[in-house]
């Protein structure tokens, strides 16, 4: 019996994947591109895998585009990528903001957008992965405690393996 599994993608993964196509390739580009390829393959072979890109991630991506004066190729690449991933774009609800606020108040290393992204993954009982290169979120004791309390065992990593 197959069960729905959600994979959340952070902006750093999207940016790393697309940015490397037009600039010098680096570790983040290779990590991001590998992660995206694996997700595409997994989603193609298993209809129960749902890729989710929270709207805050789209906002971060657009801000990066504006700051870096990116051209239309980048937006076209993003459109193709999310189409291939068959991604959903969940918007935050009151409970996401409330949980994000708790994270920000508890740990000064949390940026507001990261706290909101992690709240999406935590409040979704189908989450199996949150892909991010943001090491503040990797093995974070506050997040791990919250995951345990919610019986949500998803992995936070920059790769699927």
pLDDT in tens, 15-65: 998 887 776 667 888 889 999 999 999 988 999 999 999 999 999 999 999
Q: How many CA atoms lie within 13 A of 12 on its CB side?
A: 17
Per-residue pLDDT averaged across 77-99, rounded?
95
Q: How many CA atoms lie within 13 A of 75 on its CB side?
A: 10
Helix (H) or strand (E) holding 127: strand 127-131
The whole-model pTM stands at 0.93
Inform me whether the pLDDT recorded for 97 exceeds 60: yes
Domains in the chain with CATH codes: 5-155 (3.40.50.1010)
Question: Contact, 28 vs 133, CB < 8 A?
Answer: yes
């Amino acid at each position: 019996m197959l069960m729905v599994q959600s994979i959340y993608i952070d902006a750093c993964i999207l940016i790393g994947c697309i940015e490397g196509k037009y600039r010098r390739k680096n570790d983040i580009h290779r990590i991001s591109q590998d992660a995206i390829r694996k997700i595409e393959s997994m989603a193609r072979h298993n209809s129960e895998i749902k890729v989710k890109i929270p709207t805050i991630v789209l906002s971060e991506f657009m801000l990066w585009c504006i700051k870096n004066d990116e051209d239309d190729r980048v937006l076209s690449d993003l459109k193709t990528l999310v189409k291939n991933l068959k991604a959903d774009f969940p918007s935050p609800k009151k409970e996401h903001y409330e949980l994000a606020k708790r994270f920000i108040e508890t740990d000064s290393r949390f940026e507001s957008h990261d706290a909101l992204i992690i709240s999406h993954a935590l409040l979704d009982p189908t989450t199996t992965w949150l892909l991010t290169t943001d090491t503040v979120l990797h093995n974070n004791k506050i997040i791990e405690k919250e995951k345990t309390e919610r019986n949500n065992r998803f992995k936070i990593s920059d790769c699927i393996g």
